[in-house]
Amino acid sequence: MVLAVDQFGDLYVASHGTVVKYRADGLQQWVQQFTGTGQDMTVGGDDGLFVAGTTPGIGGGANTSDWITIDYVQDGAKVSPTSLTFGNQKVGTQSAMQSVTLADTAARLAESRVNIASISTSGDFHQTNNCPLTLLVANQSRLIQVVFRPTATGTRMGTLTISDQWEGSPRVVKLTGTGVQ
């Protein structure tokens, strides 16, 4: 078993042809399989995860092996903040807008374009700017605006969910507000 930790405190574990990423809070983020065994692992300056190890040999007999190096490109996009709190809002009325930023984080690579597949909200929360489902390219970001329109009193919870093709998708922003009379 081989371990590595990135700058955010995320843990990577490679063992018996499997690489698993855990967030700093212990939540499993993703699992990747490869044929072989990880011998060493490091996180690069671009947050790419490099795993070096062995794989069954291509040209030799049953007892041969070859060295491999795998570069796992990490999340191509990030959202911030990861939660919004709207506070008290009268039932049936709309709050002021709050924004979430979706940003390209892998701008150094040609394949780093982020294809926004979908953006959705749940609960008493609504996206108000109809952020386009387009590609994010090097150094681009998009503002996604959300409002709270409570339908009942009490604590109301929902999510803003953004799906793309990168590891870590879907990206979920927790939304909270309180409906009052």
Instruction: Give the pLDDT confidence score for residue 141 in this predicted structure.
Output: 83
Model pLDDT for residues 6-21, shown as the tens digit of each residue: 777 888 888 888 888 8
Quote the longest CA-to-CA distance of the chain.
77
Is the same domain home to 163 and 82?
yes
How many structural domains is the chain composed of? Answer: 2
**84 has pLDDT over 90:** yes
> Could you tell me if 20 and 108 lie in one domain?
no
pLDDT value for 85: 97
Burial 16-54 (b: 16+ CB within 10 A, else e): eeebebbeeeeeeebebebebbbeebebeeebbbebbbe
**Average model confidence (pLDDT) across the chain:** 82
- Residue 53 near residue 68 (C-beta atoms within 8 A): yes
Q: Which of 179, 176, 178 has its CA nearest to residue 84?
A: 176
pTM (two decimals): 0.61
Q: Which of 39, 54, 72 is the last residue of a domain?
A: 72
**Which domain range does residue 46 map to?**
2-72
User: Residue 110 — very low, low, confident or very high, per pLDDT cuts 50/70/90?
Assistant: very low
Q: Which two tokens stand for residue 13?
A: 């574990």
Domain CATH for 125: 2.60.40.10
Whether residue 112 is found in the same domain as residue 61: no
Of 122 and 47, the one with more pLDDT? 122
